[in-house]
Amino acid sequence: MQGNYEIIRGGGASASALQTNRVLRNTYALLALSMVPTVVGALIGVQLNFSFLGGSPILTFALFLGIAFGMMWGIQRNKDSGIGVALLLGLTFFLGLALGPILQVALGFRNGGTLIALAAGGTGAIFLTLSGIAASTKRDFSNMGKFLSAGLILLIIAVLANLFLQLPALHLTISVIAVGLFSAYILYDINRIVQGGETNYVLATLSVYLNIYNIFISLLNLLMAFSGERD
């Protein structure tokens, strides 16, 4: 009887491990695919000199959040179907398009191409390092959740405040905090998949993608501030 119980328990653990590996594998595959519409959107955004409402940062931010959260709501509602995947790819195209203004600013520097490449490379290095740690460690990082949520709320408040204050020092501080916060979120989100806390690869991809997106923007802001070479 004991032997039978051990076989059943072992089989359940094996099935759980297979499911976790499948979710992680599908997340990485969809994450890689999501970079294609992001790059296409960014190229279009730069070529068309795209911006939402260039003269009103507050309205721009509100419009951006409205569209982004609307699409994320749609992804959540359709997470178990192909519609969810299509909406996710649509969101990544939209977010790539939204990169147009910051990429235009970066390309205004003499070494703008290098700055963008460094930001992309740094983002990739952070992701590969932290996702590797999260996927291989036996430690459970779920206790970070409340701390990270509180940090995210404070970061959003700081971003909203700086829309009115327009303080360069606060802008750089926000970028530094964002790099640290979303790097920690990569560790947390990948570890959640490994621990079985996230079983839907579409939602997992959305979370990890947003972390990468925000790290890239923040690194690029910092590189432009400290390494940008003007003509």
* 7-11, 52-56, 140-144, 151-155: least confident range: 7-11
Under the banding of pLDDT at 50, 70 and 90, the label for residue 47 is confident
What sign for the dihedral angle of Cα 126, 178, 140, 27? negative
Q: What span, in angstroms and rounded, lies between the C-alpha atoms of 185 and 174?
A: 16
Q: Which residue has the tokens 């979370």?
A: 207
Q: pTM for this one? A: 0.90
Is the distance from CB of 160 to CB of 167 less than 8 angstroms? no
Q: Is the pLDDT of residue 68 over 80?
A: yes
Which tens digit of pLDDT belongs to each residue from 13-27?
555 778 888 999 999
pLDDT digits (tens, 9 = 90+) for 152-184: 999 999 999 998 888 999 999 999 999 999 999
pLDDT at 139 over 90: no
Would you state the structure tokens that stand for residue 180, as one six-digit string? Answer: 């640290």
Distance CA 38, CA 210 (A): 12
DSSP structure class, residue 142: G
**pLDDT value at residue 16:** 73
Contact 187, 133 (CB under 8 A): yes
- Range of weakest confidence among 24-38, 51-65, 147-161, 168-182: 51-65
Asked if residues 174 and 120 have their Cβ atoms less than 8 Å apart, the reply is: no
Of 127, 71, 123, 130, nearest in space to 98 by CA:
71
